[in-house]
Amino acid sequence: MPNGPLSTKLFELAKQYIPGGVNSPVRAFRNVGGDPFFVRRAKGCRIWDVDGREMIDFVGTWGPAILGHAPVSVIEAIHTAAKDGVSFGIPNPYEVDMARTICEWVPSVKKVRLVSSGTEATMSAIRLARGFTGRSRLVKFDGCYHGHSDSLLVAAGSGALTHGHPDSAGVPAAFAELTSVLPFNDEAALEELFEAKGHEIAALIVEPYPANAGLILPKPGFLQKLRDITTKYGAVLIFDEVMTGFRLAKGGVQELEGITPDLTCFGKVIGGGLPVGAFGGRADIMDYLAPLGPVYQAGTLSGNPLAMAAGLAQLRELDRQQGFAYLEEIGQVMEEAVLDVLKRKGLGYRWYRKGSMFCLFFTETEVHHLQDAKTADLVSFRKFFHHCLDHGVYFAPSQFETGFISMAHAKADMERTAEVAAAALSAL
Ligand code: PMP
């Protein structure tokens, strides 16, 4: 079904003034074909486009909307904070509250610095690790996305993967050469690299549950292996929990898996929908940052009072409602429905889920790393996506993304989603 007239008109206008008509490439529907719709309003688990179409949303603004859209607690907190000023560039009490909350929820984080995006968090964590170790090499995994700073746009996931630019033009070769890329879940490749170059490696950065090439889970022992090998060679272990942090458990994947990284990056949920990122960890490493140490990092809007207030309200509400337990429960409802549909249709597609994050890969191959994910049948995914969209269910417009469930998704929403998904799979 084509877009409604208002979305169509807005997209034409947008393309005149914004490259490709979007401010972030993944929004452009390249992986699925067609044009993006424009949203008018979002509330709870639902969004309405400018033409009045209503959809159950499983994108959740790409992760931040863990309570659902426009939760009253967050909106009120933003109003209250705004009355006293929207930005100061002077320390404010909200920042201290947020920093303390992060340190209390995530025990490996002894000190934290607040920034305005996930990209800033990972970029700064890497500079810090380089400054702290005096080394330059960086290790990342194929298909993991850590934002769009130069050192990290190498074999990247998310929109970079979807759009066929996992290695971006404009990144100087000298930068890219300092980033070594490994397949996820491959211990032999990891050992080989560290044996050859271990003493040059400043940091290894990883999404502990890679969620930017679909959703991929670590094999038992793999994350521990990362901890052990980085310790052995004196490299900084950075967990990028921009997506998983404050979404899967109070302490993120590191709590679920019992691993203590040296540094962790956050974003998304901690901003309550406003632009926030954070990176933190060992105090001896964090104290290398200016003004205490020699590694420079700064931000005009860092610790912005509205963003802090929104994030704090979201975290408190999540805690008050025992959110992680509910998200697991409703995640299971979805999982049972999806597995039942796949069984009834005789399809061997692979389904992965952790709490409120999920991915249905359109492949019968088990997915342990990017190459497995790439066996997905993108034509079938595209048909599935459009059928669901036409029937009021909005999944991420790319096979290489993770779906998000929120506190606002109820059992009835999951039942409706399962009906639509079943019909979509029958129509393939
Ligand atoms: N790290 C991860 C794991 C992410 O998923 C993302 C964004 N999807 C980022 C970093 C970058 O965050 P931002 O888009 O806020 O810059």
- What's the whole-model pTM score? 0.97
Any ligand 1 atom below 6 A from CB of 36:
no
Any ligand 1 atom below 6 A from CB of 359:
no
* pLDDT (0 to 100) of residue 176: 87
The reply to whether 214 and 262 lie within a common domain is yes
The reply to whether 304 and 207 lie within a common domain is yes
* pLDDT (0 to 100) of residue 153: 87
Atom of ligand 1 nearest to the CA of 24: 14
Domain closes at, from 291, 319, 347: 319
Given the residues 111, 268, 374, 383, select the one marked as catalytic: 268
The reply to whether 31 and 168 lie within a common domain is no
Q: CB 418: neighbour CB atoms within 10 A?
A: 18
The reply to whether 293 and 404 lie within a common domain is no
Question: What is the count of structural domains for the chain?
Answer: 2
Give the separation between CA 36 and CA 15, rounded to whole angstroms: 12
Any ligand 1 atom below 6 A from CB of 244:
no
* pLDDT (0 to 100) of residue 160: 73
The reply to whether 363 and 255 lie within a common domain is no
Residue 47 Cα distances to 27, 55, 292, 392, 419, angstroms: 15, 5, 45, 9, 19
* pLDDT (0 to 100) of residue 163: 67
User: Along the 428 residues of the chain, how does pLDDT read in single tens digits?
Assistant: 789 999 999 999 999 999 999 999 989 998 899 999 999 999 999 999 999 999 999 999 999 999 999 999 999 999 999 999 999 999 999 999 999 999 999 999 999 999 999 999 999 999 999 999 999 999 999 999 999 999 888 877 777 777 667 788 898 888 889 999 999 999 999 999 999 999 999 999 999 999 999 999 999 999 999 999 999 999 999 999 999 999 999 999 999 999 999 999 999 999 999 999 999 999 999 999 999 999 999 999 999 999 999 999 999 999 999 999 999 999 999 999 999 999 999 999 999 999 999 999 999 999 999 999 999 999 999 999 999 999 999 999 999 999 999 999 999 999 999 999 999 999 98
The reply to whether 87 and 46 lie within a common domain is no
* pLDDT (0 to 100) of residue 261: 98
* pLDDT (0 to 100) of residue 155: 79
Give kind and range of the element (H or E) at residue 49: strand 46-49
145 a catalytic residue = yes
Nearest residue (by CA) to ligand 1, atom 12, is: 118
Atom of ligand 1 nearest to the CA of 275: 15
Any ligand 1 atom below 6 A from CB of 145:
yes
240 a catalytic residue = yes
The reply to whether 118 and 264 lie within a common domain is yes
Strands, DSSP E only, in 101-144? 111-115, 137-141
Domain closes at, from 283, 299, 319: 319
Among 237, 244, 243, CA closest to 223: 237
Give the separation between CA 223 and CA 20, rounded to whole angstroms: 38
The domain spanning residue 330 has which CATH number?
Answer: 3.90.1150.10
Domain extent at residue 354:
5-70+322-426
The reply to whether 102 and 160 lie within a common domain is yes
The domain spanning residue 265 has which CATH number?
Answer: 3.40.640.10
The reply to whether 236 and 137 lie within a common domain is yes
Given the residues 35, 142, 240, 372, select the one marked as catalytic: 240
Domain closes at, from 260, 290, 319: 319
The reply to whether 174 and 310 lie within a common domain is yes
At 143, phi and psi to the nearest 5? Answer: 90, -10
Report the separation in Å between the CA atom of 63 and the middle of ligand 1, taken as the mean of its atom positions.
10
The reply to whether 147 and 169 lie within a common domain is yes
Any ligand 1 atom below 6 A from CB of 157:
no
Tokens of 177: 């050469």
The ipTM value here is 0.99
> Could you tell which of 212, 254, 400 is best to mutate to test the pocket of ligand 1, judged by most ligand atoms within 8 Å of the CB?
212
DSSP state of 219: P
The reply to whether 25 and 135 lie within a common domain is no
Given the residues 35, 49, 94, 145, select the one marked as catalytic: 145
